[in-house]
A = this chain, B = another copy of it.
Amino acid sequence: MENVGAVQTKGYSQQELKELKDFYLDSLLGDTLPFWLKEGVDREHGGYLLMRDADGSLIDDDKSVWFQGRFATILGMLYNEYEQRNEWLEAAKAGVDFLKKHCVDTDGRMFFMMTREGKPLRKRRYFFSEAFAISAFAQVAKASGDEQLAQEARDLFRKCMSYYDGEISLEPKFTDERPGKGIGVPMIFLNVAQQLVDTVGCSYAESCIDRFIDEMRAFVKDDIACVMEVLSPADDIIDHIAERTCNPGHAIEAAWFILHESIRRRGDDELQALGLKMLDYMWERGWDKEHGGILYFVDPTGKPVQEYWHDMKFWWPQCETIIATLMAYQLTGDEKYAQWHQMIHEYTHRVFPDKEHGEWFGYFHRDGVLANRAKGNHFKGPFHLPRMQWVCYKLLSDQ
């Protein structure tokens, strides 16, 4: 990877692609996983202890429900798709068992944050805890051949669709005065449905995929070349500060979920064009031409956004953009995507890795100055980084 920092004017050579493939796998197996597996599984109370300082020492022993599901998903996925390592399956089960034993409230909804022992600290209105639990259940069910767990994954998916359709109502954060909908739910559940179908099978989830994509399509606004995060129920842009705010890394993640669907269907020109368009729009809006990297929030009208940390560089939008640009290149052979991939890969691997203790820092100021040295907290943990390394390795293996 000697020339990965240089500006590429042509596509990658076969040799370069081979080196990239080895790099992603080596980083995953030699750095990311060892960092988290070293002390990440709680041998005493089950689940994971993931809130970690730069050196891996524990900052807090609370347990994020999202991350019980997310880490179990990654571990189950690697067991299913790379190698049947018992250590991975045992660790994946630790997360799933903790989720099932402690993280479901009496009303069937899942909590958001637990004590180390498994007592609930906080529950939120959203059902993303459930989304990541479905993925974890599905991956571990496939890995262990546990049909009962597979059915729990399918049942939980169906329950989430009831929340989604409003059949089971969740307490709203806002009044009904200005109704809106986000791209987040259809995009996350597109990914969940893909995993559920591809691991243990679920005809109901399969039947939802077109619906999720159709709903996401409405957020892609060709007239302003932008993927919105929020729309009115009638699919219009809402001209207020919060609703105007776009999240390029999130939209680019949505783009590769759709590109992945075109791959699942062994070629779908319309979906491929949709995913590429979303990537094109949000690379243009999100790439920081001054310092490199993907900005967190942008307003398509150029007005200030509400958040003040909007121009910071977080690890996860960079990860999602590394995946999306590589997937676009693999699908199209278009040199533009090779160049974008090289730009984001080089920027990210120059800025984010912790050369002293391994794994990545998560939070930099716009200009690349480290802002927060935590490796794990309520929102950062073993998910976006290992998923990027694994998905990129697989993309480069499939060619």
Contacts and interface: CB of A to CB of B under 8 A. Distances in A.
Interface stretch (A14-22, A158-166, A170-178): A170-178
Contact of A309 (B119, B240, B371): B371
B377 A303 contact: no
A306 B175 contact: no
Contacts of A303: 53, 59
A181 interface: no
A263 interface: no
Contacts of A365: 365-367, 369
A338 interface: no
A115 B367 CA distance: 37
A275 interface: no
Contacts of A309: 308-309, 312, 371
Contacts of A374: 304
A287 interface: no
Interface stretch (A87-95, A120-128, A197-205, A218-226): A120-128
Given A62-B241, A122-B173, A115 B362 contact: no
A122 B171 CA distance: 13
Contacts of A283: none
A47 to B, nearest CB: 16
Q: Give the residue among A59, A115, A120, A178 with the most B Cβ atoms within 10 A.
A: A59
A373 interface: yes
11 contacts: A53-B303, A59-B241, A62-B241, A122-B174, A304-B373, A305-B372, A308-B312, A308-B314, A308-B372, A309-B309, A365-B369
Given A53-B304, A54-B304, A308-B362, 20 more contacts: A51-B241, A59-B304, A60-B241, A62-B240, A115-B177, A121-B175, A121-B177, A121-B178, A122-B175, A123-B175, A304-B372, A305-B372, A308-B312, A308-B314, A308-B363, A310-B371, A365-B365, A365-B369, A366-B369, A366-B371
